[in-house]
Amino acid sequence: MSSVRRAPPFLSQVPLPEAQERWFAALEAAGAFTPGSPTAPAGAAVETVPVAEARDRVLAAAVTARFSSPSYHACAMDGYAVAAAATHGASETSPVRLEVGENAHYVDTGDALPPGCDAVIMIEDVQDLADGGLEIRAAAAPWQHVRPVGEDIAAGEMLLPAAWRLRGPDLAVLAAAGIAEVQVRRRPLVIVIPTGDEIVPLAALAGAAPRPGQIVESNSLLVAAVAAECGAITETTPVVPDEPVRIAAAVAAALERADAVVLIAGSSAGSGDFAASVLGGLGRVVVHGVATRPGKPVILAVCGGKPVLGLPGYPVSAYLALDNFLVPLLARLLGLPAVAHEELEATLARRMPSPAGVREYLRVKLGRVAGRYVAAPLNRGAGVLTSLVRADGLVQIPEDREGYEAGQRVTARLLRPRAEIDQTVVHIGSHDLAVDVLADLFRRRYPGSSLSSANAGSLAGLQAIGRGEAHLAGTHLLDETTGEFNASYVRRMLPGRRVALVGLVSRQQGLLVPKGNPLGLRGVADLARPGVRYINRQRGAGTRVLLDYLLRRAGIDPADVDGYRREVYTHLAVAAEVAAGGADAGLGIQAAAAAVGLDFVPVAAERYEFAVPAESYADPLVARLLALVADPEFAAAVAALDGYDASPAGEVRWIAPAEDDEGAEEVTR
Amino acid sequence: MSSVRRAPPFLSQVPLPEAQERWFAALEAAGAFTPGSPTAPAGAAVETVPVAEARDRVLAAAVTARFSSPSYHACAMDGYAVAAAATHGASETSPVRLEVGENAHYVDTGDALPPGCDAVIMIEDVQDLADGGLEIRAAAAPWQHVRPVGEDIAAGEMLLPAAWRLRGPDLAVLAAAGIAEVQVRRRPLVIVIPTGDEIVPLAALAGAAPRPGQIVESNSLLVAAVAAECGAITETTPVVPDEPVRIAAAVAAALERADAVVLIAGSSAGSGDFAASVLGGLGRVVVHGVATRPGKPVILAVCGGKPVLGLPGYPVSAYLALDNFLVPLLARLLGLPAVAHEELEATLARRMPSPAGVREYLRVKLGRVAGRYVAAPLNRGAGVLTSLVRADGLVQIPEDREGYEAGQRVTARLLRPRAEIDQTVVHIGSHDLAVDVLADLFRRRYPGSSLSSANAGSLAGLQAIGRGEAHLAGTHLLDETTGEFNASYVRRMLPGRRVALVGLVSRQQGLLVPKGNPLGLRGVADLARPGVRYINRQRGAGTRVLLDYLLRRAGIDPADVDGYRREVYTHLAVAAEVAAGGADAGLGIQAAAAAVGLDFVPVAAERYEFAVPAESYADPLVARLLALVADPEFAAAVAALDGYDASPAGEVRWIAPAEDDEGAEEVTR
């Protein structure tokens, strides 16, 4: 870390489809799979498995029925088997008499048709006579209520084609046709090699927190899960340090057994990135750098005739590279079609500029608000894996566009079933722990329903309501002139709208300070003291509005607060920053201080409410959620949080449009 | 089987949603799951598993982050870490000099920000000076290229809610947040009990064909696959004979360990159906009989506080009962929402009458023909499991409708991804083995593409083309006046359409007779001989047209042919019937005779072609299929079939509309 370094070579920017095509062509040339004949790939041989264990496996060859089903003429009803000719002429007026055991034979459903019979009469259509005989009042048609041989399956018939992924009915059909075992593609083995001096396995920490510079190994779990969904199996090697010789040895060892190797991190072109040179030494790097964002530093290589994928270390980049390259690779090895995705048309909630020449993937929350789907982009950072966890879909900005405007119609590829999205209440606004409590309760009480929260701050939440992007907005905005919360902001920002303010909690805001309050901070006035480093919330956050109000009241210029311009987006991010020693104080809620063991200096109580436009308030899904706010379980859970008071929970104030301003605000409970 | 039996009691016909509600209410009352609190179900306790093994498991409780991620201020670029204040004023005209190791520290991406630094300058933005110093031409903003503590995950934050099914990104986030193990719902255990004197395990046959009256046990595979998809595990007991005491003992033993029991067959109300009385004795039968078709004889019971599902033996009925009752039950036990299904709007191809008061499920083939989805119903028989294998979707006819007319817009629930359906060539028409060969080749050459065939006969195929329901129709229709195949039928049935006739094969038709031809049949003229039992093809089949032509030419009245009115739908069904001894002869192709070891008496050669309307011919997907007809691999595979000649393969004749009748037919190759 002491000498001057060279600027790294730029990565190439190969467009996505071309990158895949080049890799596959190189793999074909190397014999990894034969062009046009995916039935005989080098990398995915065939194995024989019992039908009972073959679910989700892929047939290596077409299967032909051994038996017919039924394999005999089967009675399809409980009743009497007869020769249809013996019933000729039977009618209401001239019944025909049959003798049990002679020309009528009792049969249960599934019995073989007795010799000489060619029809079954349902038991309901037979009259018992006193002398033990039977009487029928309608003739039987030949072959009525009989399932002839081969009705379902004819012996010799091709039952299932090659490259067919077996589901439940397929397995049952195979068994019925006399097939006990099937030839299936062997599951491809993917060996995953995590590398990096900074990477530690979670187990190695033995419960301790990572030290600065340490990163917990987690990307291999992503690879394993994606591979498993594709029908492959994975093994993960121990973490390999950033030493080219050791990385090369690990890859070479993996290539001896694996059908594909995934090398994690070091895939860029920095001074500590050895993956490309190592793979170049072991074989051929076909592509280094793909024109996607995130996900540019990807390596597509062929080593020892096998595919090697070099992944970037940022988890979102890694995920997209897996999706774009590992998923189609495994499909190809198994002879399956590329995976099909469900899609949805939605309206983009915000303007999203994006450089031309690159395909950008946005992670979006999707919600059905007022009859249309809205896609709200999440954090774009390649390192923000939680954005992928929270995402309902992926939206692509194509290479030939410099981004999208707000309101653009986009196609979202779904990461969650559409029906779940339809059962999602969309919340954009301020973050509060009570919202997490409510979300958990909602999910438990109504499986399938969920509350999705984008923590954008109070003002941004009200703006989202104005644009029809959210069902409700959590808000705690102090009106400095009235000293009241929220109502005047709603009136100003949502003019002409009828909006309910639904109370959730009253909560303490205060300074989050290190344990023991070493700088002895007593209030906002102390933030301008020299040597006090502050961590702020983003513009538009209720907590920021509160800070500005308190600073003004104390006669302090924000420019005198060291760190005023450092912004984070949640209470817990403020707490984490103080706990990590990066700041001496931040304004936030007491529960956040308690969560990470900080001390708390109270400065103000505030009212946190949901702003709910009337049309959302009338939505049955939203109504179900809001009813839970008045539920004792919610109140009890909230009251247990430090600095929280649940007494406003369930209180409803209506803000009416300005034209009937009188009686504009009414409180119901 | 000798005495007179009573007519069975009728089953009830409980409407579907009500049946499910009644069962669930009874289960709630019995404590199988607690109402409104699915987190603590009696039947699905909690277990702790390593995160690496938790894919697809369901969280039993919300999970909170232990660590922040990053857990330190992390450099987000390769470059130099600096105090932003030290770069103040740097510009193109007045660069600022930095000293490596003093106020500039080389960092790699992921390194911890060195003490005293609050920004990173990308290495590309730094000039190396000859004396070892550095020069920058722009000031660094505080916190640029730094990932602050908690950017992705803040310690104490609720990461994932309860009742969340874990996917790849979730697992990686858990590890990054310091979570090594999670509490998940234990997988419910479903014990499956097959019953029935007629049921034999495939293994017990030791390779032999089932005897008349024997049915291979296959439904348990259906249950196991459906349960596995829902996240449950299954055990299947040995087959229990139809003895109430033994069935009761098997269910009682299963209830000691299982979370749910599935009892297969005997669920109706016939004399051999003991399931309802057995379950009534062990607990309570809540519903016996549901108003669906297929799938009426279903038992929903609660025994020992646990759910017991009595399934009908017909596999399609069993599948629908699993879908309607076991799937939601398992979701409920796991605290998950009901499974969401992808759907599609389609046009129903045929009229489908259906009784009112019953919800009927049609299995349909789906295809995108000329820009719209068409749903072609498959065999409605409850015993025809292959219809479920071949189905692309399920269409419901609701209780308040007496069926649907052809052309009705319906909603199909998809059993296959929409993208696969979009890559399907729809063939309705005559069955030929060459079509199976082509389908297999198509699937192998173009993974993801498929040829779906509905074997409806030649005439029905041309009618389907006329209604826009199929891309192409396999046809072998002899014009008795010209002695030519297909062309005159196309002209008559598709007037005004430009249609290509694409040759596939020339094939021998003949009499399929038992080995050694015991009755010495020499041709169609012998079919009227006394004691000869014939098995016929359905009206509209090319083979039926051929038979009628041959009979007429031989001067034989069809009424003199015993079995003329017994119809089956494929060559192999004819062969199976003769092989089973149910008929002495049937007209069909030599390959079908060979498939089941019959002898073959040739009577005529015929030309099998695809009729392809011009708009389908121009469709790239169809074009890709038709190109394969001229492929040497197709010709070789076809030539290997008994009685086949591949010389017409790939020949194309165009039938033009009548208005320009001159030159209406041209042959290209």
User: pLDDT for A192-229, tens place per residue?
Assistant: 999 999 999 999 998 888 999 999 999 999 999 999 99
pLDDT of residue B100 exceeding 50 = yes
Structure confidence by residue, pLDDT tens digits, B428-448:
998 888 998 999 899 888 877
> What pLDDT shows up at residue A662?
47
Asked if residue B5 has pLDDT above 80, the reply is no
Residues A69-110: pLDDT tens digits?
A: 998 989 998 899 999 888 988 998 999 999 999 999 999 888
Q: Do B315 and A176 touch (CB under 8 A)?
A: yes
Least trusted range by pLDDT, from A606-610, B33-37, B307-311, B326-330? B33-37
B183 in reach of chain A (CB within 8 A): no
Indicate if A488 and A365 belong to the same structural domain: no
Q: How many domains does chain A have?
A: 5
Amino acid B505: pLDDT: 94
In this structure, the answer to whether residues A172 and A143 fall within a common structural domain is: no
Gap between the terminal Cα atoms of chain B: 64
pLDDT, averaged across chain A: 89
Chain A residues with beta carbon closer than 8 angstroms to that of B67: 209-210, 216
Query: Best residue in A46, A152, A577, A621 to probe B by mutation, most B CBs within 10 Å?
Result: A152
Q: What is the pLDDT of residue B42?
A: 45
Q: Smallest Cβ distance to A444: which of B162, B175, B203?
A: B162
**DSSP code of residue B462:** H
> Considering only CA atoms, which of B464, B467, B466, B490 is closest in space to residue B479?
B490
* Same domain membership, residue B529 and residue B655: yes
Asked if residue B432 belongs to a domain, the reply is no
CB of A575 less than 8 A from some CB of B:
yes
Per-residue confidence (pLDDT) for residue A370, from 0 to 100: 86
Q: Does the model's ipTM exceed the 0.90 cut?
A: no
Selected for mutation to probe chain B from A2, A55, A71, A135 (highest B CB count within 10 Å) is A71
* Tokens found for residue A606: 């505030």
pTM across the whole model? 0.84
Query: What is the arithmetic mean of pLDDT over A141-152?
Result: 86
Model confidence at B177, pLDDT cuts 50, 70, 90, reads very high
The percent of residues in chain A predicted with pLDDT above 90, rounded, is 65
What mean pLDDT is predicted for residues A170-193?
96
pLDDT at B37: 45
Q: What is the mean pLDDT of residues A292-319?
A: 95
Determine contact, residues B130/B96, Cβ cutoff 8 Å.
no
- A contact test, residue of B3, B56, B72 with most A CBs within 10 A: B72
**Interface A-B: count of C-beta contacts within 8 A:** 428
> A171: which residues sit within 8 A by CB, 6+ positions away?
A51, A52, A54, A55, B218, B221, B222, B225
The pLDDT of B298-312, averaged and rounded, is 96
Q: What is the pLDDT of residue B9?
A: 53
Q: B151 vs A384: CB contact, 8 Å cut-off?
A: yes
Show which of A147, A168, A198 is a domain's final residue: A147
Please report whether residue B443 resides in a domain: no
B222 touches chain A (CB under 8 A): yes
Residues A502 and A616 in one domain: yes
pLDDT at B39 over 50: no
Domain that holds residue A93: 74-147
Q: Are residues A511 and A532 in the same domain?
A: yes
pLDDT tens digit string along B524-564? 999 999 999 999 998 888 899 899 999 998 999 999 999 99
Q: What is the CATH number of the domain that holds B164?
A: 3.90.105.10
Residue B130 located in a structural domain? yes
Is residue B292 assigned to a domain?
Answer: yes
Q: Do B604 and B618 reside in the same domain of the chain?
A: yes
Kindly report, residue by residue over B569-608, the tens digit of the pLDDT.
788 889 888 988 889 999 999 888 887 889 999 999 999 9
Quote the CA–CA distance of B383 and B265 in Å, as a whole number.
13
The pLDDT tens digits for B453-477 are 887 889 999 999 998 889 999 999 9
In a domain, B261, yes or no: yes
Taking residues A536-555, report their average pLDDT: 90
> CA A302, CA A284: separation in Å to the nearest integer?
5
With cut-offs at 50, 70 and 90, classify the pLDDT of residue B402. very high
Residues A533 and A642 in one domain: yes
**In this predicted structure, what is the pLDDT of residue B43?**
43
Peptide bond preceding B447 in cis form (omega within 30 of 0): no
- Give the whole-angstrom CA distance, residue B163 versus residue A448: 9
CA dihedral A538, A542, A543, A546 (to 10 degrees): 120
Q: Give the 3-state secondary structure of A434-496.
A: HHHHHHHHHHHHCCCCEEEEEECCHHHHHHHHHCCCCCEEEECCECCCCCCECHHHHHHHCCC
Mean pLDDT on A43-49: 78
CB interface of B with A, residues 134-173, below 8 Å: 134, 142-143, 147-164, 167-173
Q: Is position A565 within any domain?
A: yes
What is residue A537's predicted lDDT score, i.e. its pLDDT? 92
Interface of A with B in 49-88 (CB under 8 A): 51-52, 55, 62, 66-74, 76, 78
- Over residues A164-184, the mean pLDDT reads 95
Determine the pLDDT at residue B162: 84
Which residue, A333, A357, A378, sits at the end of a domain? Answer: A333
Give the CA dihedral B524, B528, B530, B536, nearest 10 degrees: 80
Handedness of CA B274, B279, B282, B286 (dihedral sign): negative
- Side-by-side strand order, sheet with B96-98: B96-98, B134-136, B126-128
Query: Closest approach of chain B CAs to the CA of A661, in angstroms?
Result: 41
Least confident of A387-391, A509-513, B74-78, B417-421: B417-421
pLDDT at B10: 65
Q: What pLDDT was estimated at residue B307? A: 97
Nearest CA in chain B to A440: B161
Residue B9 within a domain: no
- Verify that A59 and A116 share a domain, yes or no: no
Residue B582 touches partner A, C-beta closer than 8 Å = yes
In a domain, A40, yes or no: no
Q: What residues contact residue A525 under an 8 Å CB cut-off, 6+ apart?
A: A554, A556
Of residues B541 and A525, the one with the higher pLDDT is A525
User: CATH no. for residue B577?
Assistant: 3.40.190.10
Query: Residue A115 sits in a domain of what CATH number?
Result: 2.170.190.11
- Which one of A221, A442, A596 makes the best mutation probe of the B interface by having the most chain B beta carbons within 10 Å? A221
How close does chain A come to B55, measured CA to CA in Å? Answer: 7
Cα B192 from Cα A569, distance rounded (Å): 52
Name which of A153, A423, A447 is nearest B336 (Cβ-Cβ): A447
In which band, very low, low, confident or very high, does the pLDDT at B337 lie, cut at 50, 70 and 90?
Answer: confident
Chain A, nearest residue to B575 by Cα = A154
Taking only the tens place, the pLDDT of each residue in B632-662 is 999 999 988 888 999 999 999 999 875 554 4
Asked if B565 is an interface residue toward chain A (Cβ–Cβ < 8 A), one would say yes
- d(CA B341, nearest CA chain A) in Å: 8
A37 versus B471: the higher-pLDDT residue is B471
Span B336-349, average pLDDT: 85
Judge if A65 and A78 occupy the same domain. no
In this prediction, residue A656 carries a pLDDT of: 86
What's the rounded Cα separation, in Å, for the pair A161 and B164? 36
Q: Are residues A446 and A391 in the same domain?
A: yes
Do B5 and A123 make contact, defined as CB atoms within 8 angstroms? yes
Lowest-confidence segment of A378-392, B276-290, B442-456, B655-669 by average pLDDT: B655-669
Is A351 in the same domain as A285? Answer: no
Place of tokens 């169609």: B524
**Other residues' Cβ atoms within 10 Å of the Cβ of residue B640:** 11
Query: In this complex, do A440 and B196 lie within 8 Å of one another by their Cβ atoms?
Result: no
The residue among A163 and B197 whose pLDDT is bigger is: B197
CA distance B589 to B511: 8
Residue ending a domain, among A461, A487, A516, is A461
Banded model confidence at residue B150, pLDDT cuts 50, 70, 90: confident
Q: What mean pLDDT do residues A111-122 have?
A: 91
Same domain flag for B156 and B131:
no
Residue B443 and residue A161 in contact, taking contact as beta carbons nearer than 8 Å: yes
A contact residues 423-442, partner B, Cβ 8 Å cutoff: 423, 436, 439-440
pLDDT in tens, B240-267: 999 999 999 999 999 999 999 999 988 8
- What is the model's pLDDT at position A6? 43
CATH number at residue A404: 2.40.340.10
The residue ranges of DSSP E strands in A305-430, in sequence order, are: 306-311, 343-348, 359-369, 372-377, 393-397, 409-414, 424-429
